[in-house]
Amino acid sequence: MTKTSTRLFDRKILGDAIRASFWKLDPRVQLRNPVMFAVYLGSILTTILWLNSLSGSTGESSTFVLGVAMWLWFTVLFANFAEAIAEGHGKAQAASLKKSRTTVIARKIANKADRITEEVSATDLKIGDIVIVKAGETIPADGEVIEGVASVDESAITGESAPVVRESGGDRSSVTGGTRVISDWLIIQVRTLPGQSFLDRMIAMVEGAKRQKTPNEIALAILLAALTLIFLLVVATLLPFSIFSVEVSGQGRAISLTVLVALFVCLAPTTIGALLSAIGIAGMNRLSQANVIAMSGRAVEAAGDVDVLLLDKTGTITLGNRQATRFIPASGTTEKELAEAAHLASLADETAEGRSIAVLAKKQFGLRGRELEHIQPHFVPFSARTRMSGVTLDGHSIRKGAAEAVETHVRSLGGFLPEDVRVAVQEIAKSGGTPLVVSRDDKVLGVIELKDIVKGGIKERFAELRQMGIKTVMITGDNPLTAAAIAAEAGVDDFLAEATPEAKLSLIRDYQKGGRLVAMTGDGTNDAPALAQADVAVAMNSGTQAAKEAGNMVDLDSNPTKLIEIVNIGKQLLMTRGSLTTFSIANDVAKYFAILPAAFAATYPALKALDLMRLSSPSSAILSAVIFNALIIIALVPLALKGVAYRPVGAAQLLRNNLLIYGVGGLIVPFMGIKAIDVMLTLMRIA
């Protein structure tokens, strides 16, 4: 997959984000985030207080009030900026997808009997319409291939330059509007309405237009809103207390509204409140950068909490294409003689299995390709009807294929299938391998054993998942004996053999009844029920329409191992949110020691003992805390967008690391930052 990544702070995205920061000052937009809406109201109030202080009747420095008002506005703008930057990355990806949309004329089949076609606009197609698309033409709408087989260029959607085969009647019958047929032809039945195609949904998702908050995010938003309300009530009651204290003691002065607003903004969880939306959008963007389209934010959230992974064996745990592992000669035939015949029969075989036979023959006997131009061989390609392939060379007919097919072939020539070959075929089949029988004329030479090869490094990946507390389950149609052998070699925790759609669905439900969150991948119609039941369901883009509609994510690369990457992205999103929440709350504790003693120094002189930072003056302390509160948001924007680095370790260690780095760091950084700002303000004689 060839991707073009957008820089974190691309110049165009920066410019658009700055403009959006001001546009988002609309009260209707601000109201979506209760924490920042409270800061927004505080900014308006302090601006009014500044205008009032210009008359000099309030007894409060207009410079101080202006400073507080300006930095509160900056706090709101920086929060808008963080969200706009995250949205900008999504829109940049969506823009590249929009370029692939062109006006397409569809050739609709009006009469199925004689295939009379009429040209219509793709936007006029309806569900159920049948169209024909030939080489060089663009597929007008999402649909299912009902006839034909062709190579399709899907680079407009996936970025992958290699064409893929689409054909009727299998798990690769789904086609996407906007892709292009590059060979042969396809007859397609339309499955979506204009504006509801897969490409349209992709664009909407990466733009974030339909992004819904996840339950975890909603719970955190409620917590932040509750904390904001509590601090608001606490701060509101401080004013009458200070007025009462001044009246009773007859000394000092009551706390001002400006200081109260500053105190509220600094104590409220503004840091995480400002970055919460950006974190969620950035998580969606990271998925789309991995070429995965999430159909809901809930799926992204669930990916971080998954503790059971169901993985197909073929293509995920194994290489997907079986490899030749040994030659088993028939009685009276040498292994080299069998290898030579198998090698000749595979010269024109471009499949992975055919190439693996040539590699094994070269490795064991040093066999290489022969110069065949002068001999003029006749190659016989594999077909589903004959289930054989081979070559006619030097007057000899060499064939390789399924045992039954080769037996029928040699019997037609007067030969037979030797008993030792029949036994070898049965043993290979029982062990889960694939036997290919090789013959020359009427003589059977022996058997080639093809086996599933476990992917390199997959065992280590499963060990990492085990460290994360995730159980891996291999799903396969193999018999239990073969499944157990491959499961042991791959290092998975469990397996489901001879899997049927009902068995997959039952397994997922059993795990969910036990309180587990389940993720799985699938591409076929038979996977659809299980995908619909799974908490995180990743459908392959190359799969059927039923699978894509049942899943809540679609992998454009059709790579089943992408599920592991999706889980990592989900966990990174949760970790980023948790880390910044810890940092924000720790910040509030530190800012308490900066602003509270300064705010009440005139009313309660004894509180001066809590001024641990020894700030130069009450006004400098308050303004320093407000400035730090604004700057820390913008400083954390890159972390919110890129995410906290995730390592597969246990939950206890993750918690310790989180508290040590972001908890202790959140306590120390404000002390250093506020003190530094206080020194600068004192030197500049601003406060």
Instruction: Provide the pLDDT confidence category of residue 281 given band limits of 50, 70 and 90.
Output: confident
What is 277-336 written as a DSSP string?
HHHHHHHHHHHHHTTEEES-HHHHHHHHH--EEEEEIIIIIB-SS-EEEEEEEPTT--HH
Could you tell me where the DSSP H helices lie in 25-61?
Answer: 27-30, 34-53
Q: Is 383 annotated as a binding residue?
A: yes
What is 72-84 written as a DSSP string?
HHHHHHHHHHHHH
pLDDT of 285 strictly over 70: yes
Residues 153 and 189 in one domain: yes
Q: Is 388 annotated as a binding residue?
A: yes
State the pLDDT at residue 601. Answer: 66
Q: Is 353 annotated as a binding residue?
A: yes
Of 453, 470, 495, the domain-final residue: 453
> Is residue 138 in a domain?
yes
Instruction: Provide the pLDDT confidence category of residue 415 given band limits of 50, 70 and 90.
Output: very high
- CATH number for 171: 2.70.150.10
Residue, of 168 and 233, whose pLDDT is higher:
233
Residues 444 and 514 in one domain: no
Q: Is 183 annotated as a binding residue?
A: no
Q: Is 387 annotated as a binding residue?
A: yes
Residues 43 and 135 in one domain: no
Q: Is 284 annotated as a binding residue?
A: no
- pLDDT, tens digit, 9 for 90 and up, residues 237-246: 877 877 777 6
Distance (Å, whole) CA 405 – CA 439: 11
Residues 341 and 442 in one domain: yes
Question: Quick one: what percent of the chain has pLDDT higher than 90?
Answer: 10
> Is residue 196 in a domain?
yes
- pLDDT, tens digit, 9 for 90 and up, residues 128-181: 888 888 888 888 888 888 888 888 877 655 545 457 788 776 667 788 777 888
Residue, of 372 and 526, whose pLDDT is higher:
526
Q: Is 384 annotated as a binding residue?
A: yes
| Spatial CB neighbours of 591, under 8 Å, sequence gap ≥ 6 | 266, 267, 625, 628, 629, 670, 674
At CA 12, angle to CA 10 and CA 15, rounded to 5?
A: 105
Q: Is 403 exposed, middle or buried, given 0-12, 13-18 or 19+ CB atoms closer than 10 A?
A: buried
Tokens 């507390």 correspond to 469
State the pLDDT at residue 151. Answer: 81
Instruction: Provide the pLDDT confidence category of residue 402 given band limits of 50, 70 and 90.
Output: confident
> Is residue 260 in a domain?
no
Q: Is 603 annotated as a binding residue?
A: no
DSSP-derived letter for residue 355 is: H
> Is residue 120 in a domain?
yes
pLDDT of 116 strictly over 90: no
Give a three-class secondary structure readout of 390-448: EEEECCEEEEEECHHHHHHHHHHCCCCCCHHHHHHHHHHHHCCCEEEEEEECCEEEEEE
> Is residue 523 in a domain?
yes
Residues 567 and 676 in one domain: yes
Q: What is the pTM for the complete model shown?
A: 0.61
Residues 573 and 672 in one domain: yes
Q: Mean pLDDT, to the nearest integer, of 529-549?
A: 79
Q: Is 440 annotated as a binding residue?
A: no
Of 272-286, 296-310, 646-660, the poorest mean pLDDT is in 646-660
Residues 346 and 360 in one domain: yes
Q: Is 400 annotated as a binding residue?
A: yes
Q: Is 523 annotated as a binding residue?
A: yes
Determine the residue type at 228: T
Distance of CA 665 to the CA centre of its chain: 30
Q: Is 411 annotated as a binding residue?
A: no
Of 407, 426, 453, the domain-final residue: 453
Instruction: Provide the pLDDT confidence category of residue 599 given band limits of 50, 70 and 90.
Output: low
Residue, of 263 and 296, whose pLDDT is higher:
263
Residues 459 and 313 in one domain: yes
State the pLDDT at residue 399. Answer: 92
Residues 198 and 311 in one domain: no
* Radius of gyration of the chain measured on its C-alpha atoms: 34
| Spatial CB neighbours of 105, under 8 Å, sequence gap ≥ 6 | 119, 120, 121, 122, 140
State the pLDDT at residue 370. Answer: 54
Contact 295, 201 (CB under 8 A): yes
Domain total of the chain: 5
State the pLDDT at residue 443. Answer: 94
> Is residue 263 in a domain?
no
- pLDDT, tens digit, 9 for 90 and up, residues 36-81: 898 899 999 999 988 888 876 666 788 888 988 999 998 898 888 8
Most confident of 343-357, 509-523, 553-567, 582-596: 509-523
Q: Which domain does 392 fall in, by range?
A: 328-453
> Is residue 354 in a domain?
yes
- CATH number for 525: 3.40.50.1000
pLDDT of 461 strictly over 50: yes
State the pLDDT at residue 476. Answer: 81
- pLDDT, tens digit, 9 for 90 and up, residues 299-350: 777 788 888 988 877 766 777 667 888 999 999 999 999 999 998 888 877 6
State the pLDDT at residue 493. Answer: 92
State the pLDDT at residue 58. Answer: 65
Q: Is 389 annotated as a binding residue?
A: yes
Residues 5 and 80 in one domain: yes
pLDDT of 96 strictly over 60: no
Residues 160 and 173 in one domain: yes
Residues 425 and 503 in one domain: no
> Is residue 631 in a domain?
no
Instruction: List the one residue out of 264, 276, 261, 269 whose CA is nearest residue 227.
Output: 269
- CATH number for 432: 3.40.1110.10
Determine the residue type at 128: G
Distance (Å, whole) CA 517 – CA 307: 6
Per DSSP, the three-state class of 360 is helix
Return the number of other C-beta atoms located less than 10 Å from residue 595's C-beta: 25
Distance (Å, whole) CA 479 – CA 491: 18
The two three-digit tokens of residue 251, written as one number: 């000394």
Return the number of other C-beta atoms located less than 10 Å from residue 450's C-beta: 21
Distance (Å, whole) CA 320 – CA 342: 22
Length of the chain: 687
Which residues are known catalytic residues? 312
